[in-house]
């Protein structure tokens, strides 16, 4: 994916500074341009040579390194977002009072004035983080428009347990993408995405499910979040993101959760089981207790998306999915009408399940058909949202 967006990454003095290597790797893997600015004390924890190798760019550190351009201004002009991860207690305090005594704080001062997004991810000892002065400085920076990744609780380098760990790198990456791609007009619109194959219990340890990996649903939820929507996910799969995730197992559980939700857009990417077991055993069924064979009685599950669509409001849009291995388009068109959907995404078994790529056809209620050729599921999710969430 080529994003052609520019990220300026600041690194301050912290034992967590080495984690910036992985953050850069994620940025570059996803097509972003990255430049790095360091405080001089950060040189005690990271290597400029490694950073230059990872970014394929010069690393910036000195405040008065003779250049043609004024670096703290030219870097602000270049960047779409300024991420400081980790940011120390010392740098937080300097930034909150407008100090510009090194290159990083000078860039911060100019960046804040530019109104471009700034993301700060603190890392420090728990007592330093809980210091009321530091907390007041964080509050001050937030009030001036800075975004923060809250510290995690866990084992710290100083040998104690508590709050102060750098936020998960994947979550910092997701938040960065949101700050780059978000559209202000989406901030008050809610998107619900259902994800994964539902699980229908047989007994206390077994269940019936399907081959859905949830990859497309996760990409759809991620891009909805990136575009600035208020995202909630209902999922049978465990994963971690910056948006709320409600864990369910069965089709009935998913339906119950959906009935509680208000939304502007519902994207039903989950592979919901058509059947459930009627004679569920409370305990594990032992093969020693079965003579020759064992039969399960299956009953139909309610059609989850059709049930929700029956009470759809005028301002709501519902997007369904159709997975088939033959006559895919006609199958999708029938479901679009029968389930009262606004859009349906048709894809076939061969390309959709357990792969990182897919090809889909978007069918609108008006009859318009849009074909998206084979691409990564992440790219396809972005294109789908650009069509269905207008």
pLDDT (tens digit, 9 = 90+) per residue, 195-239? 999 999 999 999 999 888 899 999 999 999 999 999 999 999 999
Q: How many Å apart are CA 157 and CA 116, to the nearest integer?
A: 33
Q: Which CATH class is domain 6-181?
A: alpha beta
Using alpha carbons only, how large is the chain's radius of gyration in Å? Answer: 25
- Return the H-helix or E-strand segment holding 233: strand 230-235
Q: What's the CATH fold of domain 184-388? A: Rossmann fold (3.40.50)
Entry field: residues in the chain: 390
pLDDT-derived band at 71, boundaries 50, 70, 90: low
**Looking at the annotation, which residues are catalytic?**
158
Helix, strand, coil tally for the chain in percent (to 5): 35, 25, 35
Fold: same for 6-181 and 184-388 = yes
* Residue matched to tokens 């032992």: 286
Q: How many Å apart are CA 183 and CA 343, to the nearest integer?
A: 22
pLDDT-derived band at 352, boundaries 50, 70, 90: low
Question: Hey, what are 148's tokens?
Answer: 């923060």
Where exactly are the structural domains of the chain? 6-181, 184-388
Cα 198 off chain centre by: 21
**What percent of the chain clears pLDDT 70, i.e. is strictly above it?**
95
Cis peptide before 86 (omega within 30 of 0): yes
Does residue 350 have a pLDDT over 70?
Answer: no
């Amino acid at each position: 994916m080529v994003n052609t967006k520019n990220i300026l990454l600041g690194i301050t003095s912290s034992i967590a500074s080495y984690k910036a290597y992985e953050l850069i790797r994620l940025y570059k893997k996803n097509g972003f341009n990255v430049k790095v600015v360091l405080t001089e004390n950060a040189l005690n924890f990271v290597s400029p040579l490694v950073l230059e190798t990872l970014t394929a760019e010069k690393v910036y550190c000195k405040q008065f390194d003779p250049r043609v351009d004024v670096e703290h201004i030219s870097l602000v002009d270049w960047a779409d977002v300024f991420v400081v991860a980790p940011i120390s207690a010392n740098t937080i305090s300097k930034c909150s009072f407008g100090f510009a005594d090194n290159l990083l704080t000078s860039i911060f001062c100019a960046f804040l004035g530019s109104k471009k997004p700034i993301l700060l991810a603190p890392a420090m000892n728990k007592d330093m983080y809980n210091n009321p002065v530091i907390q007041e400085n964080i509050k001050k920076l937030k009030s001036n428009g800075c975004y923060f990744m809250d510290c995690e609780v866990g084992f710290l380098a100083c040998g104690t347990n508590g709050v102060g760990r750098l936020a998960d790198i994947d979550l910092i990456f997701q938040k960065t993408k949101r700050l780059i791609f978000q559209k202000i007009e989406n901030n008050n619109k809610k998107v619900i995405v259902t994800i994964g194959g539902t699980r229908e219990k047989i007994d206390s340890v077994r269940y019936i499910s399907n081959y859905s990996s949830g990859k497309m649903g996760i990409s759809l939820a991620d891009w909805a979040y990136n575009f600035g929507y208020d995202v909630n996910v209902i999922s049978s799969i465990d994963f971690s993101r910056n948006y709320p995730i409600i864990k369910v197992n069965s089709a009935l559980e998913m339906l119950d959760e959906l009935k509680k939700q208000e939304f502007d857009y519902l994207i039903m990417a989950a592979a919901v089981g058509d059947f459930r077991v009627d004679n569920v055993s409370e305990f594990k069924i032992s093969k020693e207790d079965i003579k020759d064979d064992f039969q399960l009685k299956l009953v139909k599950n309610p059609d989850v998306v059709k049930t929700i669509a029956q009470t759809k409001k005028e301002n709501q849009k519902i997007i369904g999915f159709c997975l088939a291995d033959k006559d895919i388009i006609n199958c999708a068109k029938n479901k679009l009408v029968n389930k009262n959907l606004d859009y349906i995404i048709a894809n076939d078994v061969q390309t959709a399940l357990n792969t990182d790529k897919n090809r889909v056809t978007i069918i609108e209620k008006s009859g318009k058909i849009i074909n998206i050729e084979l691409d990564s599921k992440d790219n396809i999710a972005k294109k789908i949202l650009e069509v269905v969430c207008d």
